Copies of this chain bind each other. A is one copy, B any other.
């Protein structure tokens, strides 16, 4: 920069002002300097600038990774949300630092405090709601995609999971299902709310809950597959399954298919998230839609407001069901399998 200053015959300060497009500078000088900068292919040292300004223009996005397969970034929906966040951040002139954190590790949120950026977006509360609460008290520059909780000290954006679970289950009931299984991770707040919606729908319809139809697992595809096999092995009747994510739904359909059980003929399937592939699966998957574009935008905007020192409210996005083939009504049938293997 001092070189450039010499070349232009002005001081460093003037160059700095010219390059940052300051108001209080002679337009002629500014253009001269900018031309010179371009000519010599000079670029501001962002590190120095950020250091000086005590800002990084960088946002850290944390996405939970799957414990079992660390190199595999979790849920496709989160990835699609990530795409939306990435675009918004870019529009606002921020960089995106991506960090896949395994929240199953003992230290859990301890990694958060090592982060050095203007703000943090956590995609999915995972198992760390309390940790987030604690962290947020000292570092308010945090927004989280997830479920609204009673005791929530951080800003949270997410879908209406209770309603989503309700819609999904009601749909299966309306479609004629009497024995509706539910498979997914109920340990995480979002999953739990979807489960509550499921319970409520059953209750509203006067259907008694059957614990043998409920399986709480992680969110990996193989777990969806295995859980479906487990369900089959229980020998309990079921004619519909509500899966707490589309990835699980796909794996489940795959498992059913391998056992000669047809979807939707024998069993109706409803997933969650309406990931882009849901429409292109065979059969296409009925799913609870969450708008990732709006979601990502909201997360970014709220975080930026937070960084700006503004007060910010959490937001729950409306949610709707997209009906596709996997739950289409056909000639009814109910599956019973291997009543032998009847452990838990």
Contact = CB atoms under 8 A, between A and B. Distances in A.
B282 A114 contact: no
A293 B72 CA distance: 9
B276 A254 contact: no
Nearest to A76: B76
A83 B71 contact: yes
A148 to B, nearest CB: 24
Interface string A103-146: 00000000001101000000000000000000000000000000
Interface string A265-294: 000000000001101111110000000110
B43 A51 contact: no
Contacts of A280: 221, 224-225, 250-251, 254
Interface string A179-198: 00000000000000000000
Nearest to A84: B71
Interface stretch (A2-10, A94-102, A309-317): A94-102
* Majority secondary structure of chain A interface residues (helix, strand, loop or mixed): helix
B282 A257 contact: yes
A87 interface: yes
Nearest to A81: B71
Contact of A97 (B95, B251, B296): B95
A253 B280 CA distance: 8
A15 interface: no
Nearest to A252: B280
Contact of A116 (B46, B82, B99, B113): B46
Nearest to A82: B73
A276 B100 contact: no
A95 B58 CA distance: 12
A96 B73 CA distance: 14
Interface in A55-100: 56, 58, 61, 65, 70-73, 76, 79-80, 82-84, 86-87, 90, 95-100
Interface string A45-56: 111101100101
Interface in A198-240: 221, 224-225
A45 B50 CA distance: 12
Nearest to A116: B46
A280 B296 CA distance: 28
